[in-house]
Structure 1
Amino acid sequence: MAKISREKVEVVIAGSGIAGSTMAAELGEAGFNVLVLEAGPERKLSEMISSQIWSRRLRWAGPEVQETGDLVGAANFAMGWGTGGAGLHWYANWYRLHPDDFRVRSQYGRSLDWPISYEELRPWYDHAQVYFGVSGGKNPSAPPGASYPMPAIPISSQSAAIKRGFDAEGLTLTSNTLAVNSVPYDGRAGCILDGWCDAGCPIGALANPLVLQWPRAKRAGVKLRHNAYVTRIETDPSGSRATGVVYIDENGQENFQPADVVIAACHTIWNARLLLLSSNDKYPDGLGNSSGTLGHYFTSHALTTIHGLFKQETEPHTGVTGANTLCLDGYDKKQPAKDAFGSRAWLVAQAAKPNDLLGTALAKPELFGDALNNYLHRASSHYGNMTVLCEEDAIPENRVALDPSKRDRYGLPQARVINSLPQENVARSELAKSEGLRIFKAAGTREAWAGPRAPMHMIGGTIMGSDPTTSVTNSFGQIHEVENVFVAGASLFPTPGAINPTATLAALVFRTADFIRTNRSSLLP
């Protein structure tokens, strides 16, 4: 079947999630002619139904991801499918990386350094929190920055029960910082604290692309094409400029979309896969892979959940999915113990229903029958939980690669993720688990237990750097070898810190959009 050639645009963006939609809105409002290609179907706000059965539609439904290693299993959980991508089911936890997260190699002799400092990104963090709308209070352990535009979400009954344990351990529990409206903000409603954030937020209290970026982007004339599965980036014969992207439409027809600027804004794994699939005679190992680092330095967060039943009622079904409160005490990377390394952050009191994704039933997956019924009767009113995120070192062995033995329905190699936690990070994770159980015991739980270690978030694989021989892009996400190809998203991060990545992702998008605006004359022919 012959390839269809589409009308040329100035900017084509692969992916309509938080990175892609924010970039599209920014460049559209700057006067660029922008087209976004989304692999999944159209989503509408009316489809955001507070039910785990319905919310599964928002999860990844594209090609399978092969995962190997001892820290795997996040792919389908973390990615999105359709308008807004994972931005429709994200938990809205909003944190800045700390200054030493940008200098892990320089300060601690391990992992990597970023090509920019915290201070360089700080004004973009400030801008992003106003744009998205962030609620929160002052946290003495957080990096410096402007005050949040909204007050914090109220402390929940669950947090109040758990806080006694933090107090007993000499740790500070503060209000969480969330891209959730605690009060009406920017024309969007305040949160009703019904605990269904990851099933979509139909009232718009949670900043998702359907209520924030896409209305702005469409007013600016940005076009969005659904069921458009981008398979490669094409370059001219010299390899110095991209000419556009190839995508497959819902009829299986291959299309070529010409563009002056190409932006890969897919989820982490798919940014790396797209560049690897874009190999040609000039770039036989993948576009942007002259350094040999494309796909490498994949990281995640080592997550451990702590669960308990409390004497007092905790109303666990209410609140927000992300967390009601937060503890950043001890986030600094000073060795917590011999042969252990990394930051950690406690996200406390996530809303939990009996049958939802983080629910009370799944906290005890080994129970059946009467035992499960008796447990749920207690847990529905007395359950409490918290999650610790621990840092993973960036090492080249952890990576995204193509698996020629596994093909998608179009015959293209599937992505394969290799991710194992370095031993000193394992030791840090074990220390955190022990700390969490102590906290719950000190809080007076009748029973406390820990879940298995699992990965959360997917980061790296198309890392930024100042040296083209050791990185894929520069600090603006611009591929070193091809000046009109950019990458947006957490795949750029050289290191993950120990906190959720979206605030940093957004700050980087705003910084890159400003760079593209400023350099318009040199980027467009």
Structure 2
Amino acid sequence: MARRLAKTDVVIIGAGWTGLTAAYELAHAGKRCVVLERGSYRHDADDFAAPKEHDELKYAVHHAHMINTRKETLTFRNNASQQALPMRRLGSFLPGVGLGGAGIHWNGQLWRPLPSDLEMRSHYENRYGADFIPDDLNVQDWGVTYDELEPHFDFYEKICGTSGTAGQMADGPREGGNPFEGPRSADYPNPPMRQPIGPTKFGEAAQKLGYHPFPLPAANATKEYTNPYGAKLHPCTYCGFCERFGCGYYAKADPIICVYDQIKSHENFEIRYQAQVLRVEKSEDGKTATGVTYLTEAGEEVFQPADIVCMNAYGLWNTHLMLVSGLGKPYDPKTRTGTVGRNYAYQTLAGVNVFFEDQVVTNPFMGAGALGTVIDDFNGDNFDHSDLGFLGGGYIACTQTNGRPINYQPTPEGTPA
């Protein structure tokens, strides 16, 4: 029998970007918030400072900031005919654990969706006809439009102190930005990052070919900056330890410095660590969430009742919690009915290494997780898909993230192993 605690207004699962931001907004609106985080406390000032954070083996190779798949994992299969097996090594996605979640080791690329991304089915059908999308594709509109979400995109960019160059403002286009993006109500809060020689040459070549290069939008401050919550960010040092690492310079935005430090002392805020949520509890009629049951570090089951349950974990863990809690109808790929777990998607990237002649020195160690020059000419529906047999696209970028000594060893073709 789980021990029952005193009721709170809101219980929030996960202390990452969305969980802490929800707590900030709700606490200031007068709601008592309890945040449950399965990992431990950590902080930029103590845990991410150089030189100890600049340990490539510990953090980039052994994934010290991510979940331990021996303790908690998920099963995986390529298609429904295979047996699902547990994932024992982290691959493309790197779920976080601890205060700040994956917002600690993210690389800080901060994209807005294209307006057509949010209305994909209606957009493509309107442009190419109702028969353009095959029946076996689960393409659908999001149900919210770019214009509805734009004020929230703008606010989040201000929370992160995002650097970049606007391409489309409400009163018209701007030089140097992305001409394909949706209209912005305000420019980026920080000027773009300084581009090294590789991305600079990429931008020059793209422009000569008639494309439209722009600096990659980055959640890295490029000057002293104070966000709307009062958090102070400092200019990026281009240290090359961004993705898979925490930032001890207060330069890369993360949930700890941008949100947690500004809410941690609020009377309506409480956070509990090593709290592994097991399930969302429901009322007898099954129509209302009544709170969550979680496991403490000592192994005790505890029930935290609440008027509101906010599921702010990673998308896969939210889905898992909904399935084990009997919330919603699970998606069935055979009948294509149900919603829980449907259309999970993750980024798909491909890349090549480019080698310059001896006189061009790129200094790759001067990098950042979101440092680069991009073209969006082949993204979304920014080009004619009429006779291509596919829809969608992607950006093309030249990025310079790091020149770290273990994983970064590019060699020209033919180099002996």
Tell me whether the two structures share a fold, i.e. TM-score over 0.5. yes
Q: 1:95 aligns with which of 103, 106, 111?
A: 111
Counterpart of 2:364 (choices 300, 316, 330) is 316
1:59, 1:76 within 8 Å by CA — same for their partners in 2? Answer: no
Shift of 1:195: 1.5
Separation of aligned partners in 2, 1:12 and 1:257: 8
C-alpha separation in 1, matches of 2:320 and 2:411:
36
CA distance in structure 2 between the partners assigned to 1:275 and 1:58 by the alignment: 25
Contact preservation (8 Å) 2:330, 2:339: no
Aligned to 2:198: 158
Partner of 1:129: 157
Distance 1:122 1:284 in 2: 31
Residues 1:365 and 1:226: Cα distance change in structure 2 (over 3 Å): farther
Distance 1:74 1:327 in 2: 30
Q: Which has the higher helix share?
A: 1
Q: CA RMSD in A?
A: 2.5
Counterpart pick for 2:182 among 143, 164, 167: 143
**Which amino acid in structure 2 is aligned with residue 202 of structure 1?**
G
For structure 1, the residue ranges without an aligned partner over 5 or more in a row are 373-525
Q: In terms of mean alpha carbon deviation, does 76-85 or 163-172 score higher? A: 163-172
Unaligned stretches of 5+ residues in structure 2? 80-86, 126-132, 134-138, 167-176, 227-231, 332-336
Cα contact 1:14–1:37 (8 A) shared by 2: yes
Q: 1:284 to 1:342 in 2, by over 3 A?
A: closer
The answer to whether the 8 A contact 1:65-1:75 is kept is no
Query: Structure 1's 99 and 74: CA in aligned 2 closer, same or farther, altered over 3 A?
Result: farther
Q: CA deviation at 1:76?
A: 7.0
Instruction: From the superposition, tell whether residues 174 and 301 of structure 1 become closer, same or farther in structure 2 (CA, over 3 Å).
Output: same
Instruction: From 303, 312, 325, give the equivalent of 1:265.
Output: 312
Moved more, 329-338 or 304-313: 329-338
Distance in 2 between residues matched to 1:250 and 1:155, nearest whole Å: 46
- Counterpart of 1:85 in structure 2 is 101
Q: Hey, what's the Cα distance between the residues in 2 that align with 1:43 and 1:366? A: 43
Structure 1 segment 14-33 matched on structure 2, within 5 A: 14-33=13-32
Per the alignment, in what secondary structure is the counterpart of residue 275 of structure 1? Answer: helix
Shift of 1:276: 0.3
Give the match's secondary structure for 2:264: helix
**Correspondence 1:197 to 2:242:** yes
TM-score by length of 2: 0.80
**Alpha-carbon distance in 2 for matches of 1:318, 1:337:** 42
Alpha-carbon distance in structure 2 between the residues aligned to 1:201 and 1:365: 32
Change (3 A) 1:74 1:298: farther
CA 351–108 in structure 1, closer or farther in 2 if over 3 Å, else same:
same
Deviation of residue 336 (structure 1)?
Answer: 7.6
Aligned equivalents of 1:348, 1:28: Cα separation in 2: 42
Counterpart AA for 1:44 = H
Q: Which residue of 1 aligns with 2:373?
A: 325
Q: Which residue of 2 aligns with 1:225?
A: 272
Percent identity, aligned pairs only, is 28
Letter in 2 for 1:262: V
Query: Does the CA-based 8 Å contact 2:17-2:254 persist in structure 1?
Result: yes
- CA distance in 2: counterparts of 1:342 and 1:164, whole angstroms: 26
Q: Work out whether 1:211 is the aligned partner of 2:262.
A: no
Q: Shift of the alpha carbon at 1:102?
A: 1.3
Using the alignment, how far apart are the partners of 1:90 and 1:157 within structure 2?
24
Q: Identify, as 1 or 2, the structure richer in strand.
A: 1
Tell me if structure 1 keeps the 8 A contact 2:240–2:404: no
C-alpha distance in 1, partners of 2:114/2:330? Answer: 34
Task: Quote the offset at 1:270 in angstroms.
Answer: 0.4
- In the alignment, the residues of structure 2 paired with residue 265 and residue 365 of structure 1 have an alpha-carbon distance, to the nearest angstrom, of 44
SS of the residue 1:299 aligns to: coil
Contact kept in structure 1, 2:277 and 2:292, CA below 8 Å: yes
* Aligned length in residues: 359
Q: Secondary structure at the match of 1:344?
A: coil
| Alignment match, 1:53 | 57
State the SS of the aligned residue for 1:90. coil
CA contact (8 A) 1:60 1:76 kept: no
Q: Structure 1 339/64 Cα, relative in aligned 2: closer, same or farther at 3 Å?
A: same
What TM-score do you get using the length of structure 1 for normalisation?
0.64
